């Protein structure tokens, strides 16, 4: 089949990530604050024009917010005059599931798991550090077993401020190497920083004990570099992991059918 040039859109709770894949490689990537619809449409249109000469091109979107996804999809389709595929609705995510029958995991978690399996083809733990923090396990057969969900670092800081009279409003920043928080703000930053890292370490240990083997560990998400860069626990930092999951899903679902008579 001809190679697929793909515009992948990941709409999160606080940021939107738009990437252009050409020949399976991420050619361009833009991280947009919030859900600035005009900016998203502008970037998608530019990417669409950039691959105008491609034999096969497509737009695929994943979102954790159904209302936002529906509205954004409509605007982009009107702008491009092309169908926008939605992950989990139009395109399945290629990952096995070992979950409760009634479970409805977020498409972002499934896409990161699918991308990890597509890249590694072995058991792994996926840490996604964004608005929320998820630590999930994919076994050596490419099956997603779920994991844990916790508040992200900024959400924790916001909750500390909202739930108390004395604790200040802070934006997260990585603390320095000293273990002691010598003032309130420093203590809060260290609390959420080491809390998320400690959660990740503990869950990797738990998953390894249950699986009876130590898996590779991947970290992704907006706070992944601040939290895990240089951490001996993490084997790879892949900021665009969810976009790569969209690519893996689209390539499989949009592949040309093989002619059985050939």
Residues 175 and 136 in one domain: yes
> Is residue 189 assigned to a domain?
yes
Residue 151 maps to a domain: yes
185 and 109: one domain? yes
Whether 105 and 233 share a structural domain? yes
Q: What confidence tier does 257 reach under pLDDT thresholds 50, 70, 90?
A: low
Note whether residue 127 is domain-resident. yes
101/70 same-domain check? no
Q: How far apart are CA 36 and CA 163, in angstroms?
A: 29
Using the predicted structure, report yes or no on whether residue 258 has a pLDDT greater than 50: no
Quote the pLDDT of residue 15: 86
pLDDT of 262 = 43
Identify the band that residue 181 occupies on the pLDDT scale cut at 50, 70 and 90: very high
Confidence grade of residue 40 (pLDDT, cut at 50, 70, 90): very high
Q: Give whole-number Cα distances, 110 to 176, 197, 198, 218, 244, in Å.
A: 34, 22, 23, 14, 12
Q: Is there a single domain that holds both residue 107 and residue 63?
A: no
For residues 76 and 145, state if they share a domain.
Answer: no
Are the C-beta atoms of residues 70 and 61 closer than 8 Å to each other?
A: no
Residue 224 lies in a domain: yes
Per-residue pLDDT averaged across 215-237, rounded?
A: 96
In terms of domains, do 119 and 217 share one?
A: yes
Over residues 96-117, the mean pLDDT reads 97
- Is 252 part of any domain? no
Which one of 37, 68, 86 terminates a domain? 86
> Is 108 labeled as catalytic in the residue annotation?
yes
Q: Note the maximum CA span of the chain.
A: 74
Kindly report the three-state secondary structure assignment for every residue of the chain: CCCEEEEEEEECCCEEEEEEEECCEEEEEEEEECCCHHHHHHHHHHHHHHCCCCCEEEEEEEECCHHHHHHHHHHHHHHHCCCEEEECCCECCCCEECCCCCCCCCHHHHHHHHHHHHHHCCCEEEEEECCEEEEEEECCCCEEEEEEEEECHHHHHHHHHHCCCCCCCCCCCCCCCCCCCCCHHHHHHHHHHHHHHHHHHHHHHHHHHHHCCCCEEEEECCCHHHHHCCCCCCCEECCCHHHHHHHHHHHHHCCCCCCCCC
Using 50, 70 and 90 to split pLDDT, how confident is the model at 255?
confident
User: Is there a single domain that holds both residue 24 and residue 109?
Assistant: no
Q: Examine residue 258 and state whether it is found in any structural domain, yes or no.
A: no
Q: What crossing angle do the helices spanning 37-50 and 66-80 adopt, rounded to 10°? A: 50
Domain that holds residue 67: 4-86
pLDDT given for residue 65 in this prediction: 82
- 250 located within any domain: no
pLDDT recorded at residue 2: 56
Summarised one tens digit per residue, pLDDT across range 57-103 is 999 999 988 888 889 999 999 999 999 999 999 999 999 999 999 99
Specify the pTM.
Answer: 0.92
- Enter the tokens of residue 155: 């959400």
> Quick one: average pLDDT of 153-182?
96
User: What is the average per-residue pLDDT within 136-146?
Assistant: 98
> 43 and 111: one domain?
no
Together in a domain, 60 and 159: no
Percent of the chain with pLDDT over 70: 96
**Domains held by the chain: number:** 2
Among 49, 67, 86, give the residue marking a domain's end: 86
Tell me whether residue 255 is in a domain. no
Domain of 191: which CATH number?
Answer: 3.30.420.40
Tell me what the pLDDT averaged over the chain comes to: 93
Between CA 63 and CA 66, with CA 64 as vertex, the angle to 5 degrees is 75
Task: Kindly name the residue from 108, 118, 136, 139 that is annotated as catalytic.
Answer: 108
- Looking at the fold, whether 35 and 100 belong to one and the same domain comes out as no
Residues 106 and 205 in one domain: yes
């Amino acid at each position: 089949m001809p190679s697929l040039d793909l515009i992948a859109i990941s709409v999160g709770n606080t940021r939107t990530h738009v990437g252009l894949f050409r020949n399976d490689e991420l050619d361009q990537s833009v991280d947009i604050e919030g859900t600035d619809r005009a900016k998203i449409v502008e970037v998608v249109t530019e990417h669409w024009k950039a691959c105008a000469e491609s034999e096969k091109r497509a737009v695929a979107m994943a979102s954790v917010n159904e209302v936002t996804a529906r509205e954004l999809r409509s605007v982009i389709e009107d702008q491009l005059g092309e169908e926008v595929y939605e992950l989990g609705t139009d395109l399945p995510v290629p990952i096995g599931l070992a979950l409760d029958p009634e479970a409805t995991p977020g498409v972002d978690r499934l896409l990161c798991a699918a991308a990890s399996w597509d890249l590694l083809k072995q058991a792994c733990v996926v840490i996604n550090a964004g608005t929320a923090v998820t630590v999930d396990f994919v076994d050596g057969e490419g099956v997603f077993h779920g994991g844990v969900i916790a508040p992200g670092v900024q959400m924790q800081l916001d909750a500390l401020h909202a739930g108390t009279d004395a604790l200040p409003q802070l934006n997260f920043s990585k603390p320095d190497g000293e273990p002691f928080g010598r003032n309130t703000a420093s203590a809060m930053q260290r609390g959420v920083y080491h809390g998320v890292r400690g959660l990740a370490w503990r869950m990797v240990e738990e998953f390894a004990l249950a699986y009876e083997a130590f898996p590779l560990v991947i970290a992704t998400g907006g706070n992944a570099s601040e939290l895990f860069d240089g951490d001996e626990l993490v084997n790879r930092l892949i900021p665009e992991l969810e976009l790569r999951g969209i690519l893996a899903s689209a390539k499989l679902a949009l592949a040309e059918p093989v002619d059985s008579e050939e």
